[in-house]
Structure 1
Amino acid sequence: MSEEIENIQFELTDDLISQVELLIEASDDKALQKLLKDFHYADIAEILDELNLEEAVYIIKLLDSETTADILMELDEDNREKVLRNLSSKEIADEIGELDTDDAADIISELPESRKREVISHIEDEEHKAEIEELLAYDEDTAGGLMAKELVKVYETWTVAGCLRRIRGQAKEVTRVHSIYVVDKKDKLVGRLSLKDLIVAKSDQKIAELSNSSVDYVNVHDDAEDVAKIMQKYDLEAIPVVDDNHILLGRITIDDIVDVMKEEAEKDYQLAAGITADVEADDSIWELTKARLPWLLIGMVGGIGAASIIESFTGYMGDFIILLSFVPLIQATAGNVGVQSSAIVVQGLANDSIDGNVLKRLFKEFLLGLVNGLAIALIAIVITHFLFKTPYNVSLTIGLALIAVIIMAALIGTFVPIFLDKRGIDPAVATGPFITTSNDVFGILMYFLIAKLILGF
């Protein structure tokens, strides 16, 4: 009977943190190393995020560079920045020497310019240094800024036997072999090779006979978001990167793309919530204020506009002053419908699932708004007339206004993100305060115009 391997899920507890802190305080390095020995580097990073800076640096300097290099990549970005400030340039260089080129470049890019040069000068492996400097030259939001130089590359003129010998040497530098890329004598990408085909092939066969010329790739200058879409669409674990001459430069792996998608989702979420910059909860009050205030001012202007519209109609209402009681209903409905419509469109644009012409999509939203409007209006008429005892003509006014406002909000929420996207502006800025504020203003205006038309004040 075979033994079952117990899968113990890591759990960060107050007792564990206290135990680590006590061992650091007692300078019991052996016990601390023994405690952390069997933890995954991501788990150790989670522990370090809970310690103070001095304690975190103590552990980083205690453990071997092979482990701490991976820990640094998993640390919260703000905590990593603080830890790096407390390490010497030589110590950072030692850590970087254990990382793949893309991760090493990411860490160096976070350092001040003068510190970057110092750290690079302490990297002993000249080839590793040159590759890191190459990656630092690319914009971080491009394929070049994402790629790693480590890959398995073979020439189409090699035989299977010669290929296997050389692959063994290359694979030592690659954490995980996703694909074998085939190049010509000028290092131009010409295909890919599967391990299965390589293993079963005859030793004297040429690689050109085995390689598959159908290979997805991206240009080194392609936008990171476009790379993410390609890898997501074709379910790729890795994709090669080439330059304008089709020369193979590196590869991008799925873990880097997950980070891109996460960062983009966070950015879009903040834009949708009316935050204009990439900020976190721990940032300074000044940074948070700069990120939030612009949209709050837009909301204030919208509110003043809505108040002006209400004030301009108030003097003519006479016996229909009760209409003011239902202003929140009109505003809330318009805002909610607009955000719903824009959220669907923004999601579709992000996933490249929006197709067809704009007019067709607007017509669909018109029909959807009409159906929803009729349902909401019917309920509102019944509730306002029988529960609030409003006159029938006032209830009818509210109902018709709701239909018009819902249709209007659905059209605005659909059109604005598509319009912005076609102008090269992130459509996520259309959601949240922008859509809500615009629909509030137009919704109130439409509400009182319909009321004036029906009630005749």
Structure 2
Amino acid sequence: MEETQENIQFQLTDELIEKVEILVEDQNDNDLKTLLNEYHHADIAEILDELELDDAVYVIKLLDSETTSDVLMELDEDNREKVLRNLSAKEIAEEVEELDTDDAADIIAELPEDRQQAVISQIEDEDHKAEIKELLAYDDDSAGGLMAKELVKVYETWTVAGCLRRIRGQAKEVTRVHSIYVVNKQEQLIGRLSLKDLIVAKSDQKIADIAKDNVDYVNVNDDAEDVARVMAKYDLEAIPVVDDNQTLLGRITIDDIVDVLKEEADKDYQLAAGITQDVDSDDSIFDLTKARLPWLFLGLVGGVGAFLIMEGFQEAFSKYAVLFFFTPLIAAMAGNVGVQSSAIIVQGLANDDVRGSVNSRLIKEMLLAALNGTILALFLFFFVWVTKGEFNTALAISASLIAVIIVAGLIGTFVPLFLDKRGIDPAIATGPFITTSNDIFGILIYFWIAKLILGI
């Protein structure tokens, strides 16, 4: 019966929220515990995210630390920050003592510096405290900032029988045993084992004889995104972390990498939309304005630039007014092609699929743009010729479209590659930056070619 309940997907309903709120209001602790104990900690976090702050804090204080520590990690970041502000240093310390070191360090890192020290001082387990302090010293976006100290480690000189006895104690502290790491006397990583390797080996065999030496690892100072790429490339559920001396320091598990990928995807999506910093819909109007205004200002500058270009071609407008009506089409096509090209390159850079010379990329994009532009221009040529009856005007507009699409494709390809080489996030190139620049170049090319063909 219990297994059947676990297989039923949790659904958050208004009735459930109301029931929890009533139990909290009545301070019916026994029924509230009974109700919430039926749910996974991630489901409880989803419930708490919908409650008023006081009610959420009440539930956190009611449930045991083993449960609420996991619930805290699943809470919305803003809600977790509010909840932590309403817990004492000792109460937070009790929660983090139930967490793996990486999660404990993440929780403490979100606190103001003075509260961090207060919480750390309340942690009773000295080993746990020392490991958390070590992790807090690493940059958040590095392998050290992601790793957990909990792992199963054995020495190459041990026998299989002795190894099995010793790892039973170590495994109690590790939620999931993905691999067993083999070190030498200097604590340097030299290999790995699976549980299967141990089970099938003879009890008197030395670990050095059965360990695999082709172990993937990352340096403690490696960038988090680089770690994610390595784990994705080799389909790893966990990867060990070493220092410059190859000393084994910890391990990074797939759940931490999923968080990194999600955060990076959110950041890239916002950059592509023209938002310069990490924000969400619940942030203040001032924060949202700061995030959006720079790119909106760029769009305004681009619009002024387009106005100045068009103003310089007033003579063309006076003789061929039809050119004016096709200006939005040319600008839109330039922006669309540029965003398409840059999006493909940015995706390739993110997946580490972009290889070869820049020139080959640009030539390929130019040929692709020329093909697409020719097909679209033929359609546009016949449309203008049939509807307006002006061959030269139709030729000028369609020829301009081909040139604009080719240039937009080249810009959309070159800019993200250039930004990536300069260490700037290329996701910027998929947003207003590309759209605005291609609008300006597109309009300039459009009127220049039209003027040339029409002899204005």
Q: What CA distance in whole angstroms lies between the structure 1 residues aligned with 2:2 and 2:80?
A: 40
2:265 equivalent in structure 1 = 265
Shift, 1:389, TM fit: 2.3
Letter in 2 for 1:53: L
Letter in 2 for 1:41: H
Q: What CA distance in whole angstroms lies between the structure 1 residues aligned with 2:307 and 2:206?
A: 78
Question: Is residue 2:391 matched to residue 1:392?
Answer: yes
Letter in 2 for 1:397: A
Letter in 2 for 1:326: F
Q: What CA distance in whole angstroms lies between the structure 2 residues aligned with 1:405 and 1:357?
A: 24
For residues 222-259 of structure 1, what are the alpha-carbon distances to aligned partners after superposition, in whole Å with 9 as ceiling and x for unaligned?
A: 00000000000000000000011100000000000000
Q: Secondary structure at the match of 1:328?
A: helix
Q: What CA distance in whole angstroms lies between the structure 1 residues aligned with 2:144 and 2:415?
A: 32
Letter in 2 for 1:113: E
Question: Is residue 2:72 matched to residue 1:42?
Answer: no
Question: Is residue 2:285 matched to residue 1:285?
Answer: yes
2:449 equivalent in structure 1 = 450
Q: What does 1:246-325 correspond to in 2, within 5 Å? A: 246-325=246-325
For residues 72-113 of structure 1, what are the alpha-carbon distances to aligned partners after superposition, in whole Å with 9 as ceiling and x for unaligned?
A: 000000000000000000000000000000000000000000
Q: What does 1:335-354 correspond to in 2, within 5 Å? A: 335-354=335-354
Q: What does 1:94-113 correspond to in 2, within 5 Å? A: 94-113=94-113
Q: What does 1:109-258 correspond to in 2, within 5 Å? A: 109-258=109-258
Q: What CA distance in whole angstroms lies between the structure 2 residues aligned with 1:29 and 1:443?
A: 67
For residues 394-439 of structure 1, what are the alpha-carbon distances to aligned partners after superposition, in whole Å with 9 as ceiling and x for unaligned?
A: 1111100110000000000000100111111111111110000000
Shift, 1:3, TM fit: 12
TM-score between both structures, scaled by the size of structure 1? 0.98
Shift, 1:220, TM fit: 0.3
Change (3 A) 1:4 1:277: closer
Q: Secondary structure at the match of 1:240?
A: strand
| Partners of 1:365 and 1:414 within 8 A in 2 | yes
Letter in 2 for 1:23: L
Shift, 1:390, TM fit: 5.0
Give ranges in structure 2 of 5+ residues lacking alignment: none
| Partners of 2:180 and 2:194 within 8 A in 1 | yes
Shift, 1:329, TM fit: 0.1
Letter in 1 for 2:372: N
| Partners of 2:151 and 2:177 within 8 A in 1 | yes
Q: Secondary structure at the match of 1:164?
A: helix
RMSD, matched Cα: 1.2
Shift, 1:4, TM fit: 8.7
Q: What CA distance in whole angstroms lies between the structure 2 residues aligned with 1:42 and 1:390?
A: 66
Question: Is residue 2:421 matched to residue 1:410?
Answer: no
2:376 equivalent in structure 1 = 376
Letter in 1 for 2:368: L
For residues 302-347 of structure 1, what are the alpha-carbon distances to aligned partners after superposition, in whole Å with 9 as ceiling and x for unaligned?
A: 1100011101101343320221001000000000000000000000
Q: What CA distance in whole angstroms lies between the structure 2 residues aligned with 1:362 and 1:349?
A: 15
Q: What CA distance in whole angstroms lies between the structure 2 residues aligned with 1:262 and 1:385?
A: 50
Give ranges in structure 1 of 5+ residues lacking alignment: none
Q: What CA distance in whole angstroms lies between the structure 1 residues aligned with 2:126 and 2:9?
A: 40
- Runs of 4+ off more than 6 Å: none
Q: What CA distance in whole angstroms lies between the structure 2 residues aligned with 1:5 and 1:296?
A: 52
Percent of aligned pairs with the same amino acid: 72
1:69 equivalent in structure 2 = 69
Q: What CA distance in whole angstroms lies between the structure 1 residues aligned with 2:37 and 2:272?
A: 43
Q: What CA distance in whole angstroms lies between the structure 2 residues aligned with 1:147 and 1:4?
A: 32
Q: What CA distance in whole angstroms lies between the structure 2 residues aligned with 1:258 and 1:440?
A: 37
Q: What CA distance in whole angstroms lies between the structure 2 residues aligned with 1:4 and 1:155?
A: 39
Q: What CA distance in whole angstroms lies between the structure 2 residues aligned with 1:260 and 1:4?
A: 31
Letter in 2 for 1:347: Q
Q: What CA distance in whole angstroms lies between the structure 2 residues aligned with 1:422 and 1:354?
A: 12
Letter in 1 for 2:429: A
Question: Is residue 2:56 matched to residue 1:56?
Answer: yes
Q: What CA distance in whole angstroms lies between the structure 1 residues aligned with 2:233 and 2:70?
A: 29
Shift, 1:30, TM fit: 0.6
Deviates more, 1:199-208 or 1:239-248: 199-208
Letter in 2 for 1:248: L
Letter in 2 for 1:73: M
Q: Secondary structure at the match of 1:352?
A: coil
Q: What CA distance in whole angstroms lies between the structure 2 residues aligned with 1:191 and 1:358?
A: 39
Q: Secondary structure at the match of 1:115?
A: helix
| Partners of 2:65 and 2:98 within 8 A in 1 | yes
2:15 equivalent in structure 1 = 15
For residues 119-173 of structure 1, what are the alpha-carbon distances to aligned partners after superposition, in whole Å with 9 as ceiling and x for unaligned?
A: 0000000000000000000000000000000000000001111101110000000
| Partners of 1:314 and 1:321 within 8 A in 2 | no
